[in-house]
């Protein structure tokens, strides 16, 4: 029984290591596709006002001069899939990979492909570039010199395991998973020592050297785990070879072995430390106690630590799942906006009619049903998506159609009159006088606009002044009738340049821009490409958080069983006569159950106070978990007392 439980726990930890390695391999391949054999990835952030085409030309010249072999990563916008397209910059040659060639991926994304250079015409200069050529300190200095002169910010990511681990350590879900694995190793060491307590005492009594006892116990603990680890790693390697290809096997095994080595080192350290603390004494052997009392103290300490850890991660996990849900919803919205483009207008010194031409483009696209406005105001300038801060959005009906929201048929979205608007919304409506062409249009916009209040229902809207997607849970939505009443320079051109007016169709927008006389003065690009790439990373961390919680629960269950067994074994001589006299197991375990229940309630109260101070919404989940943990521990204590009674009767203690 003990060995089967040890093997099961070992398999659980090895499975977690393989899962984390799988996540790391997927994230690594998303950043550095293994079939392209990149040396590094560079994230380019141009300064505000820098033209995309100019920045791409400079990067192309730098690529040829330094031999970088730059490849731009963009999403597959044309075919409407989640695949990535890899576009070589001028001067880059990929051996054996022509335009249109398929690139196999490790994880969830579909296979990528090599794109044609024309794809860069609709891509922004900012984003991620693979380095598939030269990469050394001299090349990096050349890049830094260009970036400093052009005002461009560069971030580097080398193709090494340390960078991937640093990225994961920045995620709370990964840190929780590592902590859960460490907690389980401590419980396993405690469990093994309780199982070996009798044989250790007999060997001490027989005069076996201490180092020999420690060595044999460590080998007995580690050997089954090593066998399970080898079997798990072999299955994982064969699975990757069959499902993904041999190119991904070395990295997966490297990461898996690193994680498992860390687990085994922690396990060995815990085993040696707990073994020294719980060493059988002469007094214990003379009194014929089945195990040292130090095991009871160690089990109580480990149990308290694991219990507090479980309570501490419940609330963040609830928030993490909510963020993952928000990220998934954001990704679904960006997918709906896959065909939407933004237009950046370049003003020359002799071009004074650009505002009118930009407005002409907007009106032409709106008449074709291919223009949408989304401009959101919020009191928190640095907020992110899915915030609880109140917001006011000015949108057109076409935007609501794009994101799939019908305010007249959605529960939680209530139509209101202009007199029912809050202060923030009234200030926005008052701005119509500044944004409109004249007073008549101001009155028309105010009279024909529809007002809605969304409470608890998120309406996706673009943040004012940028293309950042917001999901406010408390928002006032102002649906304007059209864009005809807004002035050219006072609203339309600034909103177009800040990507708050989006147009449908890349080729159609380019044709309309030519007809409007804009020509080479505009840059047309997809608005969703970077957001789709960014949102693809979110789901894994929610799965990692779920795995960590399950592992912590398993650790708590094991330490509750081990602790109850140790306590009942140490008190068997005291409890056995009382049980013969008619005492119930629950009555004998009641003092311990009461103490642990009070501790559980106190710990839960402290955690709830901290969550309340942080204004977290995880309090509702913390209290039930504490109650269930205390109930499970009480059941374990009662069952252990009854089990020791039968063990004494059957002479198996």
pLDDT at 441: 92
Picking from 396, 367, 352, the residue whose alpha carbon sits closest to that of residue 508 is 367
* Residue 607 contacts residue 315 (beta carbons within 8 Å): yes
Contacts of 637 (CB under 8 A, 6+ apart): 564, 567, 568, 589, 592, 593, 596
Q: Mean pLDDT for each consecutive 10-residue tract of the chain (653 residues)?
A: 69 78 77 81 81 83 88 72 79 78 77 81 78 88 89 80 66 68 75 76 81 83 84 89 83 83 82 78 64 73 81 69 66 77 67 79 91 87 55 93 87 89 91 91 92 87 84 90 90 88 84 78 67 60 68 78 80 82 86 88 84 69 83 90 80 57
Picking from 607, 596, 498, 598, the residue whose alpha carbon sits closest to that of residue 556 is 596
Using DSSP's 3-state secondary structure scheme, residue 345 falls into: strand
The whole-angstrom distance between residue 513's C-alpha and the CA centroid of its chain comes to 40
Angle at 596 between CA 590 and CA 598, to 5 degrees: 100
Task: Please report, for the chain, the start and end positions of each structural domain, with discontinuous segments joined by +.
Answer: 1-23+167-326+535-650, 33-158, 347-520
pLDDT at 435: 93
Cβ–Cβ contacts within 10 Å for residue 223, how many?
10
pLDDT at 39: 84
CA separation for the pair 234, 315 (Å, rounded): 36
Confidence (pTM): 0.61
Structure tokens at 390: 């109140």
Binning the chain into helix, strand and coil, the percentages to the nearest 5 are: 60, 15, 25
CA separation for the pair 70, 426 (Å, rounded): 50
Torsion angle, alpha carbons of 607, 612, 613, 616, to 10: 100
* Residue 402 contacts residue 484 (beta carbons within 8 Å): no
Q: Which strands make up the sheet holding 70-75, listed edge to edge? A: 102-103, 112-114, 84-88, 70-75, 127-131, 40-45, 153-158
pLDDT at 372: 93
CA separation for the pair 127, 333 (Å, rounded): 20
pLDDT at 384: 46
pLDDT at 137: 87
* Residue 450 contacts residue 415 (beta carbons within 8 Å): yes
Class of domain 33-158: alpha beta
* Residue 544 contacts residue 171 (beta carbons within 8 Å): yes
CA separation for the pair 86, 74 (Å, rounded): 7
């Amino acid at each position: 029984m003990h060995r089967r439980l040890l093997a099961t726990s070992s398999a659980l930890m090895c499975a977690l290591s393989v899962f984390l390695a799988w996540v790391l391999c997927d994230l690594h391949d998303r950043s550095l596709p293994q079939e392209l054999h990149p040396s590094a990835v560079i994230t380019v952030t141009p300064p505000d006002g820098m033209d995309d085409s100019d920045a791409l030309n400079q990067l192309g010249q730098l690529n040829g001069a330094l031999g970088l072999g730059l490849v731009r990563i963009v999403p597959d916008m044309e075919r409407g899939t989640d695949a990535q397209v890899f576009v070589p910059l001028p001067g880059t040659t990929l051996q054996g990979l022509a335009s249109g060639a398929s690139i196999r991926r490790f994880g969830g994304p579909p296979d990528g492909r090599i794109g044609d250079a024309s794809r860069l015409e609709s891509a922004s200069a900012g984003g991620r570039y693979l380095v598939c050529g030269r990469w050394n300190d001299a090349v990096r200095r050349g890049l830094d010199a260009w970036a400093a002169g052009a005002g461009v910010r560069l971030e580097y990511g080398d193709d090494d395991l340390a960078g991937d681990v640093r990225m994961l350590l920045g995620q709370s879900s990964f840190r929780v998973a590592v902590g859960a694995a460490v907690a389980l190793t401590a419980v396993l060491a405690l469990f093994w020592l309780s199982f070996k307590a009798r044989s250790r005492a007999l060997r001490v009594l027989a005069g076996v050297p201490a180092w020999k006892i420690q060595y044999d116990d460590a080998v007995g603990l580690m050997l089954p785990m090593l066998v399970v680890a080898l079997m798990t790693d072999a299955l994982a390697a064969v699975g990757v070879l069959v499902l993904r290809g041999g190119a991904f096997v070395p990295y997966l095994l490297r990461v898996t072995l690193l994680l498992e080595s860390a687990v085994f080192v922690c396990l060995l350290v815990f085993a040696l430390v707990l073994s020294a603390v719980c060493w059988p004494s002469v007094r214990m052997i003379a009194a014929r106690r089945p195990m040292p009392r130090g095991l009871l103290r160690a089990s109580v300490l480990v149990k308290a630590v694991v219990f507090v850890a479980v309570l501490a991660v419940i609330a963040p996990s609830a928030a993490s799942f909510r963020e993952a849900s928000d990220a998934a919803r954001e990704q679904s919205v960006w997918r709906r906006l896959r065909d939407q483009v933004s237009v950046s207008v370049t003003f020359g010194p002799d071009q004074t009619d650009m505002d009118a031409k930009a407005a002409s483009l907007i009106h032409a696209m709106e008449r074709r049903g291919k223009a949408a406005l989304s401009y959101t105001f919020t009191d928190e300038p640095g907020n992110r998506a899915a915030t609880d801060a109140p917001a006011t959005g000015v949108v057109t009906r076409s935007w609501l159609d794009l994101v799939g929201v019908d305010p007249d048929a959605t529960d939680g979205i209530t139509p209101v009159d202009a007199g029912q608007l809050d202060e923030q919304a009234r200030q926005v409506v008052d701005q119509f006088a500044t944004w409109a062409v004249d007073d008549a249009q101001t009155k028309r916009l105010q009279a024909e606009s529809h007002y809605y209040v969304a409470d608890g229902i998120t309406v996706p809207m673009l943040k004012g002044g940028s293309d950042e997607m917001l999901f406010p849970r408390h928002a006032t939505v102002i649906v304007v009738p059209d864009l005809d009443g807004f002035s050219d320079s006072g609203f339309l051109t600034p909103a177009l340049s800040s990507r708050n007016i989006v147009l449908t169709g890349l080729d159609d927008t380019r044709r309309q821009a030519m007809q409007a006389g804009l020509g080479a003065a505009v840059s047309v690009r997809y608005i969703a490409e970077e957001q789709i790439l960014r949102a693809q990373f979110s789901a894994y961390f929610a799965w990692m958080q779920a795995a960590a919680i399950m592992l912590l629960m398993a650790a708590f269950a094991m330490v509750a069983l081990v602790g109850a067994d140790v306590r009942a074994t140490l008190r068997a001589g005291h409890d056995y006569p009382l049980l013969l006299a008619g005492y119930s197991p629950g009555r004998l375990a009641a003092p311990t159950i009461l103490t642990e229940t009070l501790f559980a309630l106190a710990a839960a109260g402290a955690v709830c106070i901290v969550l309340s101070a942080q204004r977290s919404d995880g309090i509702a989940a913390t209290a039930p978990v504490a109650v269930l943990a205390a109930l499970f521990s009480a059941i374990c204590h009662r069952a252990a007392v009854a089990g020791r009674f039968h063990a004494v009767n059957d002479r198996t203690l």
